């Protein structure tokens, strides 16, 4: 069981697919090779892992790393919802198809959805990108596209004024809620 890890008032939350073997053993998301790439991409926009909150769609490792099943996603969904409610990130970055399709409630694939920002639930901005494991398979072209998406995260964070403790007090009242995709997640 791997619940999530990170800063309780993180401005950026990252949502992956499901824990793998390394994560299952250590109880922390993204600690294997995909996690190293994730750390590198974060460092590229001057963000260190302890500043963000990282969670997965599934909280348990699927046997033999198979794809998550629809009933497993439904079972775990309330936990992810609650994590997002508690952390109240300004930006949610989804990694890969499973997280992106669930959080944007769409069947459209990640290749078409990435490269853009979406006004999302609770006034947050959602930015989808490829799963780092896909980049490890796909090489520099995929990594370059991920770097573009991370740069978009940086730009959105830089354009949002930060008040100390903004996410830890009464978040309902201090985030402007806008955009056509509002309330998309639940
Ligand atoms: N892949 C994921 O989607 N999540 C992890 O935590 C590790 C690998």
Percent of the chain with pLDDT over 90: 84
Interval 160-171 mean pLDDT: 56
Q: Is residue 7 classed as helix, strand or coil in its secondary structure?
A: coil
- Find where tokens 């109880």 sit: 27
pLDDT given for residue 182 in this prediction: 52
**Which domains does the chain carry?**
4-159 (3.40.470.10)
17 lines ligand 1 (CB under 6 A): yes
Ligand 1 proximity of 18 Cβ (cutoff 6 Å):
yes
Structure tokens at 30: 């993204």
User: Any idea which residue has 């198979």 for tokens?
Assistant: 66
Instruction: Give residue 17 CA to ligand 1 midpoint distance, Å.
Output: 6
Does the pTM surpass 0.85? The reply is yes
Report CA(30)–ligand 1 centroid distance (Å): 5
State in Å: Cα 73 to ligand 1 middle: 14
CA distance 53 to 66: 24
On the question of pLDDT at 60 being above 60, the answer is: yes
- Taking alpha carbons only, the member of 80, 142, 136, 65 closest to residue 110 is 142
């Amino acid at each position: 069981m791997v619940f999530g890890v990170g800063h309780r008032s993180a401005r950026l939350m990252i949502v992956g697919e499901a824990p793998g073997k390394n994560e299952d053993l250590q109880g922390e998301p993204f600690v294997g090779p995909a996690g190293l790439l994730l750390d590198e991409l974060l460092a590229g926009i001057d963000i260190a892992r302890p500043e963000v909150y990282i969670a997965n769609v599934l909280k348990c490792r699927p046997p033999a790393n198979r794809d998550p099943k629809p009933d497993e996603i439904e079972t775990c969904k309330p936990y992810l919802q609650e994590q997002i409610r508690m952390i109240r990130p300004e930006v949610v970055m989804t990694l890969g198809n499973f997280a992106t399709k669930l959080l944007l409630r769409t069947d459209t694939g990640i290749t078409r959805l990435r490269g853009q920002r979406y006004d999302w639930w609770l006034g947050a901005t959602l930015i989808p990108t490829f799963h780092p494991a896909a980049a490890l398979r796909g090489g520099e072209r995929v990594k370059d596209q991920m770097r573009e998406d991370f740069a978009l995260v940086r730009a959105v964070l830089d354009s949002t004024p930060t008040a100390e403790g903004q996410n830890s007090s009464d978040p309902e009242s201090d985030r402007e809620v806008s955009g056509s995709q509002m309330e998309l997640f639940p």
